[in-house]
Structure 1
Amino acid sequence: MIDKIIKIYNGKVISPLRVIEQATVIIKNGKIDGIYQYDIEIPDAISIDAKGRYVSPGFIDIHIHGGGGADFMDGNVDAFLKVAETHVQFGTTAMVATTLTSDKENLLNTLNIYEEATLKNKKGASFLGLHIEGPYFSMNQRGAQDPRYIRDPDPEEYLEILNASKSIVRWSAAPEKKGAIEFGRCLRKYGVIPSVAHTDAVYEEVVEAFENGYTLATHLYSAMSGVTRKNAFRFAGVIESAFIIDEMDVEIIADGVHLPAPLLKLVYKIKGPDKIALITDAMRGAAMPPGPSILGSLADGLPVIIEDDVAKLPDRTSFAGSVATADRLIKMMVNLADVPLVEAVKMLSHTPARITGVLDRKGSISVGKDADIVIFDEAFKIHYTIVGGEILYEQTTIGS
């Protein structure tokens, strides 16, 4: 069999440490085969002239619900494929499919559909596993999560779910809930990352949770406690705890709406690019026009409205997920938060790959790793998205 070779030349290759000017990247059979600081001749290679644009590792979104009018909770394979194919156009090459708070039956059904969708996904961002968001949350910090299904961790329930699928890579929960510490220990035994989310915990509870496996904070600042006062005494909340615990990873919705510039800068200043994963937390309204939409499944989801570049509950009392795409995250971190491009890219590639345990094969343009590559310009417009050595998106507009 003749080897399939792709040559990307005349590009600015982004590594975790620097930008390599006038570089060439060679892809062979879906893997990175070589990186050179000059052009090289390779007969029969598919050649892509980057035209001086950035050649970046593919973007990895570890918290995403939907896009293109589809949601992972819709209950069918086509929805999974639609989300993956929508976001690949914006540079996402891998994603962790995320559920919403629901009843057990819908959750188990989603797990089964994920397995089938993974086999059929040939044109979109690859799936790295499942993120179960809920239902073990604080009612007070539920945000747009459906209150009908919020409950305490139930060993009989979560063991059934964990034994039903080996594709679960993370599970978000409120650590102050009854049974949540035991739940975290159980998740670790199954190789699943427990993540602090939708929580009213105070510092002491977060420390105990961290000691029992909760090493990640889900969408920092969103749906979690800050400094609170009880009987005149102040208590540090989850936000402060995530800053204090140096080893805790955090994810942020860097869409420029959920967190304004000062908070993006603060998180970056305290945690740094090695501990921050940029996420879209996108719902079905991503890459869709403003107007009415649904958070969660079409059959049983919550009505929301998309306006001001974000999804909101109809009464506008809370955000209901973002409509961001990965390219927007990079743009906001660079232009709004003044973060160097190399570090912004790192937070959407190298760091999420490390958190989810796939850094050995993804997260950077390195020899031997999967050829997941994005080419974008100075305005952060995506021109190519390559997943596993396959060109899945190419900007074809005249003048591109």
Structure 2
Amino acid sequence: MNLQQIKIFNGKLITPHRIIPQGTVLVNNGIITAVTQGDIEVPDAIQIDAQGQYVSPGFIDIHVHGGGGHDFMDGTEEAFLEIAKTHAQYGTTALLPTTLTAEKEDLLLTLDLYEQANRNNTQGSQFLGMHLEGPYFAMSQRGAQDPRYIRNPDPAEYKEIIAHSRSIRRWSAAPELPGAIAFGQYLTANGILAAVAHTDAIYEEVIEAFENGYRLATHLYSAMSGVSRRNAFRYAGVIESAYLLDGMDVEIIADGVHLPAPLLKLVYKIKGPDRTALITDAMRGAGMPPGPSMLGSKQNGLEVIIEDGVAKMPDRSCFAGSVATADRLIRSMIELADVPLLDAVKMMTNTPARIIGVDGSKGSLAKGKDADIVIFDQNINIQTTMVQGRIVYQHEQPGPATVSKATIDQALRLNAIP
């Protein structure tokens, strides 16, 4: 009797190309072994009845700072693990923990804590590597980033950081800064994705950056240049450059606040679902009630306030990070931008997986890929979250895709993430 098999049946399966009605997904030892229409007889498999709801690849968030009252820069392993649990409740099965501008010592500590937390993370979203956001930014586009720590790329510093940890997956920086092109080249040579962020670059500078490894625009429209005039002449900025460069990927905070409906529609129309990733950019306030909060670490972060579904600076002069969750992003794209469900899900699954180079094992429901699976209803309310075949979240109320506690316990025992 093979008790390690899981059968998810009677669901609408979301694949990169179509939705399969009344489909079945089989899982064995954390890997998808079949995706098909109709039912399959699998004696003694753990049965999960999706009850006609959607069965989707798990959501992948490649830019997230925190959630559930915690930040990845709090300096504790607990913060990492609790953030992973929080976002799993909203369908995120994998994410990139993201830093803010900080001193080198704080970045090194955060990388060390990542290594430790990654080994012990069995109850939430899987970690896929670190995203360092800053500290190499344009002061004029710092947004809510702490100006005390913003500086130009320093080869001695970033080479030490990269040598310190193999866990850095991407690094965001302003490409117009002195030394930023060499920095992009060094990142690329070390297998790290370079991304354009918090920048006042013009088109000519973005082109050079793109040619030297900068292949992603970090939170498009947020903290970056658009058309500007310099000595009476107009120059295209990073936003226009991202549209003109067909090969440049973009990520957007699709919470309906950072970008209103017309801009969400514009990004979708020009870049399309294959070049656009949805990100939460969530800070510690994600999954928490409105009120005072903190951006960055509790020790030396910035005080902010959560209201209107977003984090703001206390003087309300600018946003200070998102409190979105992945389900909200998909819901916003469907309801505000009129994007089909299939494409909205792709921007939260297959596209981010490709951007960070894990699409060989994640991002779609396909035989041989990790069993990172989410079941949700027509309103994108998450019912079940599965990471590598392990159920890490189950909606408490009886409803679609309900699995008995005994079944959950059995799945947790038999399909533990190593």
TM-score range, shorter chain: over 0.9
How big is the shift at 1:40?
Answer: 1.6
Letter matched to residue 376 of structure 2: F
Distance 2:181 2:292 in 1: 39
Per the alignment, residue 18 of structure 1 pairs with: 18
What secondary structure sits across from 1:39 in the alignment?
coil
Contact 1:198–1:224 (Cα < 8 Å) also in 2: yes
Q: Over residues 272-301 of structure 1, what are the superposed CA-to-partner deviations in whole Å (9 max), with x where a residue is unaligned?
A: 111001000000000000000000000010
User: Which structure 2 residues correspond to residues 29-68 of structure 1 after superposition, within 5 A?
Assistant: 29-68=29-68
Contact 2:3–2:45 (Cα < 8 Å) also in 1: no
Letter matched to residue 371 of structure 1: A
Q: Over residues 314-358 of structure 1, what are the superposed CA-to-partner deviations in whole Å (9 max), with x where a residue is unaligned?
A: 000110110000000000001110001101100000000001111
Contact 1:139–1:150 (Cα < 8 Å) also in 2: yes
Letter matched to residue 84 of structure 1: A
Per the alignment, residue 299 of structure 1 pairs with: 299
Distance 1:311 1:51 in 2: 37
User: Which structure 2 residues correspond to residues 153-232 of structure 1 after superposition, within 5 A?
Assistant: 153-232=153-232
Per the alignment, residue 150 of structure 1 pairs with: 150
How big is the shift at 1:398?
Answer: 3.5
What secondary structure sits across from 2:63 in the alignment?
strand
How big is the shift at 1:44?
Answer: 1.2
How big is the shift at 1:42?
Answer: 1.2
Q: State whether structure 2 residue 335 is matched by structure 1 residue 340.
A: no
Contact 1:3–1:28 (Cα < 8 Å) also in 2: no
Distance 2:36 2:232 in 1: 62
* Aligned residue pairs, count: 400
Distance 1:201 1:367 in 2: 43
Q: Over residues 251-284 of structure 1, what are the superposed CA-to-partner deviations in whole Å (9 max), with x where a residue is unaligned?
A: 0000000000000000000001110010000000
What secondary structure sits across from 2:306 in the alignment?
strand
The worse-fitting range, judged by mean Cα deviation, of 34-43 and 333-342 is 34-43
Distance 2:360 2:206 in 1: 30
How big is the shift at 1:121?
Answer: 0.2
Letter matched to residue 53 of structure 2: R
Distance 1:21 1:315 in 2: 50
Distance 2:169 2:380 in 1: 30
User: Which structure 2 residues correspond to residues 369-384 of structure 1 after superposition, within 5 A?
Assistant: 369-384=369-384
What secondary structure sits across from 1:73 in the alignment?
coil
Distance 2:121 2:335 in 1: 33
Distance 1:398 1:267 in 2: 38
Letter matched to residue 240 of structure 2: E
How big is the shift at 1:2?
Answer: 4.1
Per the alignment, residue 120 of structure 2 pairs with: 120
Q: State whether structure 2 residue 249 is matched by structure 1 residue 243.
A: no
Distance 1:52 1:258 in 2: 33
Quick one: percent identity of the two aligned structures?
Answer: 68
Q: Over residues 60-103 of structure 1, what are the superposed CA-to-partner deviations in whole Å (9 max), with x where a residue is unaligned?
A: 00000000000000001000000000000000000011000000
User: Which structure 2 residues correspond to residues 324-335 of structure 1 after superposition, within 5 A?
Assistant: 324-335=324-335
Distance 2:399 2:102 in 1: 46
Distance 2:3 2:108 in 1: 41
Q: Over residues 215-268 of structure 1, what are the superposed CA-to-partner deviations in whole Å (9 max), with x where a residue is unaligned?
A: 000000000000000111100000000000000000000000000000000000
Per the alignment, residue 407 of structure 2 pairs with: none
Per the alignment, residue 413 of structure 2 pairs with: none
How big is the shift at 1:3?
Answer: 5.0
Q: CA RMSD in A?
A: 0.8
User: Which structure 2 residues correspond to residues 130-149 of structure 1 after superposition, within 5 A?
Assistant: 130-149=130-149
Contact 1:384–1:393 (Cα < 8 Å) also in 2: yes
Structure 1 stretches of 4+ moved >4 Å: none
How big is the shift at 1:396?
Answer: 2.2
How big is the shift at 1:399?
Answer: 4.3
What secondary structure sits across from 1:74 in the alignment?
coil
Distance 2:255 2:213 in 1: 28
What secondary structure sits across from 2:176 in the alignment?
coil
The worse-fitting range, judged by mean Cα deviation, of 79-88 and 390-399 is 390-399
What secondary structure sits across from 1:362 in the alignment?
coil
What secondary structure sits across from 1:368 in the alignment?
coil
How big is the shift at 1:41?
Answer: 1.7
Per the alignment, residue 361 of structure 1 pairs with: 361
TM-score (norm 1): 0.99
Contact 2:3–2:44 (Cα < 8 Å) also in 1: no
How big is the shift at 1:36?
Answer: 1.8
Contact 2:3–2:46 (Cα < 8 Å) also in 1: no
Contact 1:3–1:29 (Cα < 8 Å) also in 2: no
Distance 1:155 1:193 in 2: 17
Q: Over residues 99-123 of structure 1, what are the superposed CA-to-partner deviations in whole Å (9 max), with x where a residue is unaligned?
A: 0000000000000000000000000
What secondary structure sits across from 2:322 in the alignment?
coil
Letter matched to residue 238 of structure 2: V
Letter matched to residue 74 of structure 1: D
How big is the shift at 1:35?
Answer: 1.3
What secondary structure sits across from 1:215 in the alignment?
strand
Distance 2:5 2:393 in 1: 17
